[in-house]
Chain A
Amino acid sequence: MVAMLKELAAYGLSTAEELGATYVEARAQRASYELITVDNGILKEFSKTFSAGLGIRVFYGNRFGFSSTNVLNRESVREAVEKAISAAKASRRVEKLGEREACKGVFKSAWRKKPEDVSDGTKVSLTMDVNKAGLGLDGIKSAVTRLGIQRDWRYIATSDGVDLEYESSLLGFAHMSVAFEAGAMERVSDQESAVAGWEFIEGKDWNQFSASVSRLAKEAVKAPLPPSGRLKAVADPEMVGLILHEAFGHACEGDLVSSGDSILSGKLGGEIASPLVTIVDDGLAEGGYFVPFDDEGSIKTRVLAVEEGVLKSFMTGRETAGILKLPVSGNSRAQDFTHFPIVRQTNFFMMPKDHGFEEIVEEAGEGIYIVGRGATGGQVDTASGTFTFSAGPSRMIRNGELAELVRGVVISGSILETLKGVEAVGKDLKITTSAFGGCGKDNQLARVGDGGPHVMIRELIVGGG
């Protein structure tokens, strides 16, 4: 299969050049996703999805056009090339593409034990056990456990000599518990994933994982909503990751910056955050997702977005690098072979500083400790700078100590005010990724990683009761 896909990619390149394209990218992909869902003790779904196909992007008359096919023969690839050229005719003129070195190489994420070598029966019985452990607590009304396993092989060849491929493995467990007490219901969900092989699954007590989600749901169902209004906040690494990704990462994406759809347009070199804040995007960060090169065939480089509060750079692909006169950072990513690449984050996180966790809570005095476990996500309006995200069950901070649990915590704020309001940064660092979700932009989903240390923020808007 791999040899055939490479051969078709080469055919796509030469066909596009024959038809007058001045630059061509042929991307091949072969991927699989396995999902086992156990719902209240019963195997509800065991599904496997396989995909394989080819995406062709042409630069024709200084315009980009894209098409893809999963009918794997020469005739269909030729048709895709013709459609890509037709699409180019409808696109804007691009004067200059950012320069990058045409590299060749093969990358592989680390794994010791291939998930596909583990029997289906073993995977099912483990997932059943994890679900049972989550259900086994009084007051837990419903529990859903999922095991997700992704394999991704990507290959890119371009007419200027790029020949790169990678293979990666991502897997993890997700669990949701619903607790019921005195007429009220509350759900808590959590997931833990890693770019790894089956050894990641073997190395953890997953029954403990699901049981602890259930315990948190039981505690949360009795918890009040937080007070509504402005509060000082201490965010844990997962929340910091979510805030950064939503509140700042998107606004640092070169395409949004160049079109004026980012509140950071024109602010390069300016002080946009507290001097405690340094933020990077790194394709190979520990704990994060695996992005050695992007879907334009550029090696992913580490982007220093903010250094001690000063906006230093944006994430770019070749087109936006050309417009913004920045280096190509290898951030142009496509969901799969059916999409053209757009500028995306990889692993976007804040660098640690000097504070211990207790120290931060004590300094905060009064406020809220927002916790990522059980959070359902976030969203940003990059142009106006408004962002929002949900936190998991969190704790109020009173007299410099963690106090009662609160649930239903929703935070909102404005991008620039939030980062300027960072008052303390912890010395810990945790980056996480997920085999179950990702980041949505322009109708494309991308796996990402994010994180940081514990951070204190002067104030956030908290929606509660």
Chain B
Amino acid sequence: MDVEKAVKRAVELGASEAEAYLLNTAETSLTLAGEVEASKTVRLKSFGIRVAIGKSTAVVGTQDVSDTGIESAVNSAVSIARVSPPDPRWVRMNGNISVREVGETFDKATAEATPEDLLPIARGLLDAVKEGCREAKPVRGFLTSRALEVIYANTYGGPVERRETLAFLDVEARVDEAGEVGTYSDYSIARSYRKLEPWKTGVEAGSRAREFVKAGAIPNGKYGVITLNRVSDSLLPVMLNPAVSALNVQEGRSPLAGKIGLEIMSDNVTVEDLGASVNTLGSKPFDDEGHPTRNLTIVGKGVLETFLYDTYTANREGRESTGNASRGFSTAPRPSPHHLHLKPGDATFEELLEETENGVLVMSTIGEWMSNPVSGHLNATITHAYMVENGEIAKPVKNGVVSGNFYEMFKEGLEMIGKDTRHDYGVSAPSLKFRSVTIASK
């Protein structure tokens, strides 16, 4: 049963509105240790149906995509909606179904890659670790190629179809020297597996791993802190994605509620959501409600300009969706950025360093996702960093917790913005320099 038929079937069964979402996933991946440890190829079809009866809604997802499987999912959704209490804020599903031009997001070779196609890249990556440092061992890594296809329709239109491919690799290197251990990992992401950078990634992991054999402790205190671009990429979405969701704003869970038009960050900060950009990982022609995407300025020169809306949250405020609906196949949509982009400044990485008298260059963190986007309190545990003294990298260090209010850091605390943007899936940002950041350590 295709998505249009499923929508019709739901209406026949008594739904006043229905939307169907079909997700086809194809993935080939290699797990790496010192060599290719295991590999797999997976094809998966997932189907979701959301129905409304008046203002009562329900969602059912199934991975049994036979006609009887879908029929039973549609039945189940309608019967749940019948017993669901109405949501007084429900207006209707998205009525603006169309497609934005975002360039090519699909690479056939990546969609069809077999484990053997990926082997040379995996071997290149493992060899590169040794090139970075002869004593380095690649201890853990992945190489994955993935294709996603979404087909969407609802009572008001469709079907619309989008597809994208994605390839990523990462590797962790380890060096043992006189009873001490140094590690480092790096990654690469692209639309096509042929555009990955195994050599650069492996060399970086191997050579840094050796440097971190001698990593010392960071003395407890306050420092000028530089976050390497990839660390900026990991911190921004943790704090901003939930805070700029109109749902969290409306439900009283965002520290940005009531702050539209106010300066929430330093005036050199501009943050965009690139929903409809060409060559941007995360941009897509339409969102998970079939609504066309767009590029939006969320924070313009420090001033909060907008939140991100799906149809439900937009209807609550009598406005148009910003095309930011995001969902899994069996969950209701919620607003979320497609690609959070912090605009680069004009400082080179060397200039960020030069301006740091006594500081810490943070290369890698874990646990940043445990920060609190409701209170705005940021935490990240440093696994790899360098002390910076008089504008120069002095020595490798590890183990310390970066802690502080995210918005204070980006307002009073932000000193310089680099121009070395790193593009990851769903986010891109340059290296950043903050003044007086608390690091808890030994």
Contacts and interface: CB of A to CB of B under 8 A. Distances in A.
Interface of A: 33, 35, 39-40, 42-53, 64-72, 83-84, 86-92, 119-121, 124, 128, 141-142, 144, 178, 180, 184-187, 225, 228-230, 255-256, 258-261, 263, 338-340, 342, 376-381, 383-390, 408, 410, 412-414, 442-443, 461-465
A186 B375 contact: yes
A314 to B, nearest CB: 15
A465 B222 CA distance: 11
Interface string B23-39: 00000101101111111
Contact of B116 (A86, A383, A463): A86
Given A45-B332, A384-B383, A340 B370 contact: no
B119 interface: yes
B403 A465 contact: yes
25 contacts: A43-B87, A47-B332, A53-B44, A65-B38, A70-B45, A83-B41, A87-B40, A186-B372, A187-B375, A225-B377, A228-B438, A229-B220, A255-B37, A260-B137, A379-B366, A381-B183, A383-B139, A383-B183, A388-B367, A390-B367, A410-B367, A412-B400, A462-B440, A463-B402, A465-B403
B401 interface: yes
B109 interface: no
B315 interface: no
Interface of B: 28, 30-31, 33-45, 56-66, 69, 73, 76, 79-80, 83-85, 87-89, 114-116, 118-119, 137, 139-140, 142, 172, 174, 181-183, 212, 220, 251-253, 255, 329-332, 366-367, 369-370, 372, 374-375, 377, 379, 381, 383, 398-403, 438, 440-442
A82 to B, nearest CB: 10
Q: Which 3 A-B pairs have the closest CB atoms?
A: A463-B401, A388-B381, A90-B115
Given A47-B59, A461-B401, A389 B44 contact: no
Given A90-B39, A263-B181, A340-B40, A390 B370 contact: yes
Contacts of B369: 377, 379
Nearest to A376: B370
B366 A261 contact: no
Q: Is the interface of A mostly helix, strand, loop or mixed?
A: strand
Contact of A53 (B41, B58, B63, B442): B63
A57 B72 CA distance: 30
Contacts of A119: 83
B366 to A, nearest CB: 4
Contact of A50 (B33, B62, B140, B441): B62
Nearest to A119: B83
Contacts of A52: 63-64
A376 to B, nearest CB: 5
Contacts of A378: 367, 370
A72 B369 CA distance: 38
B257 to A, nearest CB: 9
A83 B115 CA distance: 9
B366 A86 contact: no
A39 B200 CA distance: 47
A48 B330 contact: yes
A310 B147 CA distance: 47
B396 to A, nearest CB: 11
Nearest to A377: B370
B398 A386 contact: yes
Nearest to B79: A120
Contacts of B56: 43
A47 B61 contact: yes
- B43, B374, B440 — most chain A CB neighbours (10 Å): B440
A34 to B, nearest CB: 9
A284 to B, nearest CB: 28
Contacts of A259: 33-34, 37, 139-140
A408 B44 CA distance: 40
B399 A412 contact: yes
A168 B58 CA distance: 25
A83 B40 CA distance: 8
Nearest to A410: B379
Contacts of B181: 263, 383-385
Contacts of A386: 366, 381, 383, 398-399
A68 B41 CA distance: 7
